[in-house]
Amino acid sequence: MKPAFMMRLQILRNMAGFRFPVNSGFRCPVYEESIGGKGEHTFGEAGDLGLFGLQAMFVISNAQRAGFNRLGIKQHGPRKDRFIHLGSIIHPDYPSPWPWSYK
């Protein structure tokens, strides 16, 4: 993981005052391709946090203040499958700022 990403994550965690269960962080390109990912995780500048409810709402509301420019939201289905994707990549292939939701 890139140190700047981790610093942003710690800033957000300090703001929140609760732990962030990490579902996914750095991914190797082979694994990323096998799951149909778009590669943001392979740069070490993205992570998926296993959050839902009020904790997810806090992260969604404050992610940009902590320096994240990309935000994916999956808050449907079983709680164990819900997450918030945070990204901080600056790259022409990844629009920024950019929010999205997962199907």
Q: What are the tens digits of pLDDT across the range 25-36?
A: 999 999 999 988
CB 74 within 8 A of CB 35: no
Q: What is the pTM of this model?
A: 0.93
Provide CB contacts within 8 A for 52, sequence distance 6+: 75, 79, 82
What is the predicted pLDDT for the residue at 27? 95
Q: What would the pLDDT profile of 50-73 be if each residue is shown by its tens digit?
A: 999 999 999 999 999 999 999 999
List, in order of start, the domains of the chain with CATH numbers.
Answer: 3-86 (3.30.1380.10)
In the predicted structure, residue 39 carries a pLDDT above the cut 90: no
Starting at the edge strand found earlier in the chain, the sheet holding 83-87 runs 22-24, 46-49, 83-87, 70-74, 98-101
- If you count them, how many residues does the chain have? 103
